[in-house]
Structure 1
Amino acid sequence: MRSKGKITAWNDDRGFGFLIPNTGGKQVFIHIKAFNHRNRRPEIGQIVTYTLSTDKQGRPCATQAILAGDRGQIGKRSRSGVFSILFAVVFLAVVGLSAATARTPLPIFALYLAVSIFTFILYALDKSAAKSGAWRTEERTLHLLSLAGGWPGALIAQQRLRHKSSKQSFQFTFWLTVLLNCALFMWIHTSTGSVVLKSFINRVI
């Protein structure tokens, strides 16, 4: 029998929380693994449809959970995910082509590629840690890597791994880092930015 309830507590870092059934009664434990469709991260106040069960200790817990509105959002989010991945791939291709034609220094393309790969791996490790309850990577670290040029890898990871793609506060800061990084990329192609970049590369190399 399916039941409905509202999430009253949620620990996103550890991936679990509690909900109160609409019919009243004791609070029910719910884990991130209980959700059939993980299109969004659960948040306090969201309505959940679930099957009531019990854990090994005999405590009430939710299984086969679905957040309200998830069924109708699946196709929409799928299209959005494809666009996001395409955007990241096209950007890297543009930077690579620009480097191949000597318009962008090769170290810049290498930086984008290396940091993107590293960021993707870090997202994968963080998602694994969220499931197992292990030590998590700070969101600040993920944002700094995106700002440093790893945002294409972060964007692909968010869509492919379904990690950090629905947390609104995280997404706001993430897209801010994307805009800042793209602005910086355009700036280094101006006369002033080009001089500053060449001077910096010469000092480092």
Structure 2
Amino acid sequence: MRYAGRITEWNGERGFGFVVPSGGGDRAFVHVSQFQRGSRQPVVGDLISYETLRDAKGRLTARTVRFAGQKIAVPASGTRLPGWQIALGFFLLLAVATSLGKLPILVALAYLAASLVSFTMYCLDKTAAEKGYRRTPESSLHLIDLLCGWPGGLVAQQWFRHKTAKASFQSMFWLTIFLNLGGVAWLIVSGRMQWLSSVLLGE
């Protein structure tokens, strides 16, 4: 069953707020991830339609949210490359470069370990956003992505539908990717990567 209501509270920085149904009733928690992809940022006073369910703690939450008068989005049939394919292709490239001796194995291991940490951090932040818990600072997500964790972050964003609609976050996220790749490329070309690998391995 869909309800109509008005957003009475909204935290733009954290991406969540509360909606009260028209005519009165229990307010529901609403998160930005539940709006249709490509929707504008909500503000206090917006009229929306939504479905409800209760989370693990019995709190009422709004799902499949649409602004009043907004049509149901039809999935695009474009050729957008899923995050997991980009990440898989990158790791395959790392594997080939490592097997050919062009890249120290520590680099591939660093990307793998950091990606697992990044994926976990996004997962925990998504859960915290839905349940109203303390969030992971965006700066921490950007830092782990900068430190070789961006493949895991890219997969997590699309897997959990998290942070994909926030333009400022996406701009910084892609900047961390370019900085990371640029930094690793410089270490390889300058020969410092081999030196760093020797130091870490005690050779």
* TMscore range, shorter length: 0.7 to 0.9
Aligned position for 1:180:
179
Aligned position for 2:55:
none
Write the letter of the residue equivalent to 1:109: A
Q: Is 2:151 aligned against 1:155?
A: no
Aligned position for 2:30:
32
Per-residue CA deviation, residues 118-169 of structure 1 (Å, 9 max, x unaligned), is: 1101111111111222222111111011111100000000001111111111
Q: Confirm or deny: 8 A CA contact 2:3 2:51 kept in the other structure.
A: yes
Give TM-score scaled by structure 2 length: 0.74
Write the letter of the residue equivalent to 2:75: G
Aligned position for 2:57:
none
Aligned position for 1:43:
41
Q: Distance in 1 between matches of 2:11 and 2:71?
A: 18
Write the letter of the residue equivalent to 2:83: S
Q: Is 2:123 aligned against 1:127?
A: no
Q: Distance in 2 between matches of 1:77 and 1:116?
A: 29
Q: Distance in 2 between matches of 1:202 and 1:76?
A: 49
Q: Distance in 2 between matches of 1:158 and 1:104?
A: 28
Distance 1:94 1:65, change over 3 A: closer
**Aligned to 2:188, what secondary structure does the other structure show?**
coil
Q: What is the aligned-residue identity percentage?
A: 24
Q: Is 2:72 aligned against 1:71?
A: yes
Q: Confirm or deny: 8 A CA contact 1:147 1:178 kept in the other structure.
A: yes
Q: Distance in 2 between matches of 1:105 and 1:51?
A: 51
Aligned-CA RMSD value? 3.7
**How many residues are aligned here?**
190
**Aligned to 1:76, what secondary structure does the other structure show?**
coil
Q: Distance in 1 between matches of 2:13 and 2:40?
A: 8
Distance 1:138 1:185, change over 3 A: same
Write the letter of the residue equivalent to 1:130: A
Per-residue deviation at 1:84? 2.8
Distance 1:105 1:155, change over 3 A: same
**Aligned to 1:66, what secondary structure does the other structure show?**
strand
Per-residue CA deviation, residues 7-33 of structure 1 (Å, 9 max, x unaligned), is: 873355373245898xxx99x955226
Q: Distance in 1 between matches of 2:119 and 2:71?
A: 25
Deviates more, 1:195-204 or 1:34-43: 34-43
Give TM-score scaled by structure 1 length: 0.73
Q: Confirm or deny: 8 A CA contact 1:17 1:30 kept in the other structure.
A: yes
Q: Confirm or deny: 8 A CA contact 1:3 1:51 kept in the other structure.
A: yes
**Aligned to 2:165, what secondary structure does the other structure show?**
coil
Q: Confirm or deny: 8 A CA contact 1:10 1:44 kept in the other structure.
A: no
Stretches of structure 1 that go unaligned for 5 or more consecutive residues are 54-60
Aligned position for 2:167:
168
Residues 3-152 of structure 1: pairs in structure 2 closer than 5 A: 3=4, 9-11=10-12, 13=14, 15-17=16-18, 29-32=27-30, 39=37, 43-45=41-43, 48-50=47-49, 63=62, 66-68=65-67, 71-72=72-73, 75-76=75-76, 80=80, 82-152=81-151
Q: Confirm or deny: 8 A CA contact 1:117 1:153 kept in the other structure.
A: yes
Larger helix proportion, structure 1 or 2? 1
